[in-house]
Amino acid sequence: MLKKNETAPAASTYVLDEQVGFILRQANQRHAAIFAASGMDDLTATQWAALAKLREQGTCSQNLLGRHIAMDAATVKGVVQRLIRHGYVETDPDPTDARRVVLKLSPSGEEAYLRLAETALRITRETLSPLTEDERDTLVELLKKIR
């Protein structure tokens, strides 16, 4: 137990501004602000992620989509429901399991993806704009290692 006015060794070396979690949160806040200002048809970043992954993956279950975009079942369910309300995603019976449905992009979802993909790329470029091209590549590769 520490005596009164005594500091634990770690307490004297801990600087919040140097902690990876704090820095990642600030970087994410920067990216979220850029995304929000971008005019992505009122889609949130998580809705865009689901739309883009469904376009990339093709028809799949909601559960699989959630795993692909690192969302728990409850979160992906809400995201998918909003995409269905937007008219961007449709459901079909699963051909291999009558108890399930599978998701697919609707024609409207395909059109939205094609129209918004360049904006999504611009958001990434703007988020990374303080970095050189080599730094961007390095950062993305390092982040992939710790995700």
Query: How high does pLDDT run on average in the chain?
Result: 94
Where does 1-147 have alpha helices with state H?
9-13, 20-36, 45-57, 62-68, 73-86, 107-127, 133-146
Quick one: average pLDDT of 19-36? 97
pTM of the predicted model over 0.85 = yes
Range of the domain at 103: 18-142
Query: Mean pLDDT across the stretch 7-36?
Result: 92
Give the pLDDT band (50/70/90) at residue 1: low
In-domain check, residue 136: yes
What is the per-residue pLDDT across 64-109, written as a single tens digit (0 to 9) for each? 999 999 999 999 999 999 999 999 999 999 988 888 899 999 999 9
Per-residue pLDDT at 8: 73
Residue 6 has a pLDDT of 67
Angle between helices 107-127 and 45-57 (to 10 degrees): 120
Closest C-alpha among 79, 72, 85 to residue 48: 79
Could you give the CA distance from residue 17 to residue 4 in angstroms, rounded to a whole number?
A: 27
Residue 109 domain flag: yes
CATH at 62: 1.10.10.10
- What's the structural domain count of the chain? 1
Q: Is residue 129 part of a domain?
A: yes
Per the listing, tokens 């989509």 go with 65
pLDDT tens column, 111-134: 999 999 999 999 999 999 999 999
Q: Per-residue pLDDT for 60 more than 70?
A: yes
Q: Is residue 104 part of a domain?
A: yes
Contact 102, 10 (CB under 8 A): no
Tell me the pLDDT band of 4, cut-offs 50, 70 and 90. Answer: confident
Q: Tell me the average pLDDT across 45-68.
A: 96
Residue 122 CA to residue 68 CA, distance in Å, equals 23
Beta carbons of 101 and 88 less than 8 angstroms apart: no
Specify the pLDDT at position 10.
79
Q: Which of 100, 104, 118, 93 is nearest to 51 (CA)?
A: 104
2 pLDDT more than 70: no
